[in-house]
Structure 1
Amino acid sequence: MISLKSALAKPFAKRVYKKIQKWANKPIETQNKVFQELIAAAAGTEFGIDHDFVSINNHEDFVKRVPVRDYEALKNYVEKVVAGESDILWKGKPIYFAKTSGTTSGSKYIPITKESMPSHVEAARNAILMYIHETGNSKFVDGKMIFLQGSPILKEQNGVQLGRLSGIVAHYVPKYLQKNRLPSWETNCIEDWETKVDAIVEETLPEDMTIISGIPSWVQMYFEKLQEKTGKKVGDVFKNFNLFIFGGVNYEPYRAKFENLVGRKIDSIELYPASEGFFAFQDKQGEKGMLLQLNSGIFYEFIKADEFFNENPKRITIKDVKVGVNYVMLISTNAGLWAYNIGDTVEFTSTKPYRVIVSGRIKHFISAFGEHVIGKEVEQAMQEATLDSDIRVSEFTVAPQITPKSGLPFHEWFIEFENEPEDLSVLAKKIDESLQKQNTYYFDLIQGKVLQSLKITKVKQGGFQEYMKSVGKLGGQNKIPRLSNDRKIVDKFEFQN
């Protein structure tokens, strides 16, 4: 028998689908409208006055007056906001600061305003509703759902609440989902990640879990603990678990491992949330890429990734993007970020509608020898090399070995296997061939005998978790970089091999 909640979900999903189609079918007009509204709203702020917003009429004017900035370059404005001043980056004061750990700048304080907060909540809800509309499957709304997230405990700083984004969003779970949502508030407030996951296992075991959500590497830890405790596949523990919602990293390197832990294939929805805004979500099960949120108070600009470090790279809007090109994404938002570089690189998979995949981080690449290898390429190489095999990879990262004891330099792949291959050299060869096929610079360096083929170094089981724990980044929204241009991370692994 269909419950009332499940029955009501379908017409609601249809209504949201129609609303989304309206702006998705008018992408350029939608972004122009967002742009004009942002400039008008912030014209009287300190930033707006400093950058002459009143005389900005179009994107060309904006490019002339507002340079590209990262957090460091915006910091002097942010510090005034943190100190409690009003009308600095956006009108009034923000209602929250999402605190994130920056690599170069220590803690970052990303403002969230009353105008920007709704889109963080609505986008996640709409992703589920689009899935219901497409598949007709709404039974899962009656079961229990879990989101592995940071602590919802917030602190106050000069009248503004401060916490992790996932903890802030926990305060906005709609009433109709409150009864279905796990873990409990008390468990969610546990700071130590391992203790928290143990408590989540205890709380969820007796329940009918239908949706599980979180960053794949941390959900994997939860699944492994469930399996350890019960001796069963996760899909046998939770018979109605059929939807996995994830964000933050590419799921593909984890998919085989997950399906083995669950014991069957399950549908998944990919999200692209960040403290700076909720940028995209997967709107179709059979389509590659996530629908870019063009109507959420965010104006997007793009710079070709391989031109980004040029002196004056060209900034374009969605009107001029091409499918398959690697871009650095810049955002201007109703939280007061302007031509802001969040550090991600994206690639468009479609422009009708505009869908993206996250291809990596502009700082996370290997170009120690001029090869410009990016995250998407190493993930695709791993995926292709392990396809149709029993090899299961728990986690991996890649670094250059510039001064080997003998022979030419090479890329070193640090891999933690759940099920390792009989012959590592065969896997290494397959990965290398895929990488050469994808990246012409890498191909030329291998063929020109500047680099030798990549080598694999095994990391012991649990090695990546130990590393994350050692640097205080176990759990929550933290993730291991897929690749680095130096050996700072992997040097910590040396003793584990």
Structure 2
Amino acid sequence: MPIINAVFNWFIKKRIHQIELFMKYPDEVQEEWFEHLIASAQHTEWGKQHHYKSVESLHDFKQRVPIQNYDTLKPYIERMLAGEQNVLWPTEIKWFAKSSGTTSDRSKFIPVSAEALEECHMKGGKDMLTLYCNNRPNARLFTGKSLTLGGSHQVSQLNADTFFGDLSAVIMKNLPLWAEFYRTPDLDIALLENFEEKIEKMAHATKDVNVTGISGVPTWNIVLFKKILEVTGKRNLLEVWPNLELYFHGAVNFTPYREQFKLLIPNGDMYYLETYNASEGFFGIQDREAPGEMLLMLDYGIFYEFLPLENLEDEQPETLTLDQVELGRNYALIISTNAGLWRYMIGDTIRFTSLVPYRIQITGRTKHFINAFGEEVIIDNAERALQEACRQTGAIVRDYTAGPIYFEGNNAGGHEWIIEFEKKPAEFERFVDLMDETLRKINSDYDAKRFKDMALRRPVVHRAPEGTFFRWMKERGKLGGQHKVPRLANNREYVDGLLAILEPANRAV
């Protein structure tokens, strides 16, 4: 096994040269992909409707193709689900990633072409290993197996030629043999649809395996880890898997989970590597030991545009290309892909932390924020405030959500938070004050509205009992997979839903 590990390390690092090329020539690489995508799709139904054959510049493209979302592309995708081809992309599309994104539908079905599967999602998976092995020359990842907690929907068949499932399930069904050999547990367990049954069986199936790496969404991995400790009677994961060295995480900000993972994996040398992989594409990978920022991957068959967040509501918003972006500004991400998503707004907001090379942070969602009073609080603000409050009070937050308290009579508005703690703060009222003070420091709009409690009063915070968010997500049919606890909302849907299941005696304000 050590010999195989050494061979894998040598082989996989050959990709580093190509990564260095797009880091050095980002604009040229993106221009090549733009031209390739337009040329490839000119004879599709979409390409003909938007006259791709005569597109000579990005300006032409923007003039002919408005910014899209799932609802605008849905009529085309529904025909593809029924088996029609050459609609948005020229090659056969028979795979669709089922996602629970923020649209008018309960679920989205994102087309996954053979090119997107191989040149984007699979390539991203290989590059995760490439960058890790490059950063850790003594890595021994391949001496054991990688545990993957996959999605909540296994692959299903719509018709003779069309299949759908969570992105993780689609990828697992198409893994090359070498990757399948290094993965655990078996597919019949990994793709179970019942999340609680899957957790139980995964715990028993993997407790005696030499697991060296783990990947998945932090929220659900913690549920699995606690089940494994319950089954084995061990105190932490290193007593179960002594050779564990790497955790690939994504989908949500890892900051609120970092302290929980330190308790579960008490190893200062444990490597945490963040990825930005969505049903629509694989966008970023952490390429150095700098938590919270990722290298924007530019040669995955995706052309990027960036819409300044302040222009989001413009009638004809003007997008920027890579060479026009600035550090520190929030942008909505717009993509055109080798699966036929054209100028598609995926709903995430990002900011650039570096322009040479291009590195990004995810700052939130275009629909997940609180702006009921002009305060413009985004997820990044909320998590920085929680991090500071936790640091000063010794708390660890497991999950949270927040929404507005509307004006009533002469009372000012406010924000209402529901927080489930892994470790409660030493002084709860101080925790709330620190959170509020930090928000005021980092968000001038919030600070202005908090002046003398005129528009916003001090936040109202409820401490939720252990298991509250798990129960709520279960009741909503949102356990496992890519489902995320919604952090912020500009309405009271999530807050009221959670308050409804909290016993009055368990609420602490």
Q: Same fold (TM over 0.5)?
A: yes
Partner of 2:34: 35
In the TM superposition, what are the counterparts of 1:378-417 in structure 2 within 5 Å?
378-387=382-391, 389-403=393-407, 407-417=411-421
SS at match of 2:134: helix
Q: Give, in whole Å, the separation in 2 of the partners of 1:92 and 1:231.
A: 50
Partner of 2:64: 65
SS at match of 1:40: helix
Q: CA deviation at 1:491?
A: 0.9
Task: Determine if the alignment matches structure 1 residue 491 to structure 2 residue 501.
Answer: no
Q: Which amino acid aligns with 2:438?
A: S
Q: CA deviation at 1:352?
A: 0.9
Can you list the C-alpha shifts for 1:339-393, whole angstroms capped at 9, x where unaligned?
0011111111111111111111100000010111111110111112212643111
Q: CA deviation at 1:212?
A: 1.1
Greater mean alpha carbon deviation, residues 344-353 or residues 73-82: 73-82
Partner of 1:49: 48
Partner of 1:362: 366
* Contact 2:393 2:426 survives alignment (8 Å): no
Q: CA deviation at 1:158?
A: 5.3
Can you list the C-alpha shifts for 1:285-313, whole angstroms capped at 9, x where unaligned?
23651111111110000110121112222
Q: CA deviation at 1:173?
A: 2.8
The match for 2:486 among 481, 484, 489 is 481
Aligned residues: 496
Q: Give, in whole Å, the separation in 2 of the partners of 1:50 and 1:8.
A: 49
Partner of 2:123: 122
Q: Give, in whole Å, the separation in 1 of the partners of 2:337 and 2:160.
A: 22
Q: Give, in whole Å, the separation in 1 of the partners of 2:382 and 2:291.
A: 21
Name structure 1 gaps, 5 residues minimum: none
Partner of 2:113: 113
SS at match of 1:301: strand
SS at match of 1:115: helix
Change (3 A) 1:388 1:172: farther
Task: Determine if the alignment matches structure 1 residue 242 to structure 2 residue 239.
Answer: no
SS at match of 1:89: coil
* Contact 2:417 2:461 survives alignment (8 Å): yes
Q: CA deviation at 1:258?
A: 1.3
Q: CA deviation at 1:192?
A: 1.0
In the TM superposition, what are the counterparts of 1:73-472 in structure 2 within 5 Å?
73-103=72-102, 104-118=104-118, 119-150=120-151, 151-157=153-159, 159-229=161-231, 230-265=233-268, 266-286=270-290, 288-387=292-391, 389-403=393-407, 407-447=411-451, 449-472=454-477
Q: CA deviation at 1:137?
A: 2.9
Q: CA deviation at 1:434?
A: 1.1
Q: CA deviation at 1:256?
A: 0.5
Greater mean alpha carbon deviation, residues 24-33 or residues 414-423: 414-423
Q: Give, in whole Å, the separation in 2 of the partners of 1:386 and 1:96.
A: 43
Change (3 A) 1:153 1:85: closer
Q: Give, in whole Å, the separation in 2 of the partners of 1:73 and 1:248.
A: 24
Q: Which amino acid aligns with 1:331?
A: I
Change (3 A) 1:255 1:249: same
Q: Give, in whole Å, the separation in 2 of the partners of 1:14 and 1:102.
A: 35
Q: Give, in whole Å, the separation in 2 of the partners of 1:377 and 1:62.
A: 35
* Contact 1:83 1:158 survives alignment (8 Å): no
Q: Which amino acid aligns with 2:3?
A: L
* Contact 1:247 1:270 survives alignment (8 Å): yes
* Contact 1:9 1:138 survives alignment (8 Å): no
Can you list the C-alpha shifts for 1:195-252, whole angstroms capped at 9, x where unaligned?
1111111111112211111000000111111222314111222111121111100101
Q: Give, in whole Å, the separation in 2 of the partners of 1:294 and 1:338.
A: 17
Partner of 2:21: 22
Change (3 A) 1:404 1:467: farther
Q: Which amino acid aligns with 2:79?
A: K
SS at match of 1:123: helix
Greater mean alpha carbon deviation, residues 310-319 or residues 20-29: 310-319
Q: Give, in whole Å, the separation in 2 of the partners of 1:212 and 1:149.
A: 11
Name structure 2 gaps, 5 residues minimum: none
* Contact 1:459 1:493 survives alignment (8 Å): no
SS at match of 2:439: helix
Q: CA deviation at 1:440?
A: 0.8
Q: Which amino acid aligns with 1:241?
A: L
Q: Give, in whole Å, the separation in 2 of the partners of 1:406 and 1:146.
A: 55
Q: Give, in whole Å, the separation in 1 of the partners of 2:213 and 2:392.
A: 27
Q: Which amino acid aligns with 2:470?
A: Q
Q: CA deviation at 1:77?
A: 1.6
Q: Give, in whole Å, the separation in 2 of the partners of 1:362 and 1:259.
A: 31
Percentage of identical aligned residues: 36
Q: CA deviation at 1:106?
A: 2.7
SS at match of 2:115: coil
Q: CA deviation at 1:14?
A: 2.7
SS at match of 1:493: helix
Q: Give, in whole Å, the separation in 1 of the partners of 2:236 and 2:411.
A: 45
* Contact 1:399 1:485 survives alignment (8 Å): yes
Greater mean alpha carbon deviation, residues 179-188 or residues 411-420: 179-188
Q: Give, in whole Å, the separation in 1 of the partners of 2:408 and 2:310.
A: 28
Q: Give, in whole Å, the separation in 2 of the partners of 1:470 and 1:274.
A: 24
Q: Give, in whole Å, the separation in 1 of the partners of 2:486 and 2:385.
A: 16
* Contact 2:393 2:431 survives alignment (8 Å): no
What TM-score comes out, normalization by structure 1 length?
A: 0.96
* Contact 1:131 1:285 survives alignment (8 Å): no
SS at match of 1:98: strand
Can you list the C-alpha shifts for 1:113-146, whole angstroms capped at 9, x where unaligned?
1111112011112112111111213212111211
Q: Give, in whole Å, the separation in 1 of the partners of 2:133 and 2:154.
A: 28
Q: Give, in whole Å, the separation in 1 of the partners of 2:393 and 2:159.
A: 52
* Contact 1:43 1:53 survives alignment (8 Å): yes
Q: Give, in whole Å, the separation in 2 of the partners of 1:447 and 1:315.
A: 35
Q: Give, in whole Å, the separation in 1 of the partners of 2:114 and 2:422.
A: 45
Q: Give, in whole Å, the separation in 1 of the partners of 2:376 and 2:481.
A: 30
What TM-score comes out, normalization by structure 2 length?
A: 0.94
* Contact 1:152 1:171 survives alignment (8 Å): no
* Contact 2:98 2:108 survives alignment (8 Å): yes
Task: Determine if the alignment matches structure 1 residue 9 to structure 2 residue 8.
Answer: yes
Q: Which amino acid aligns with 2:115?
A: E
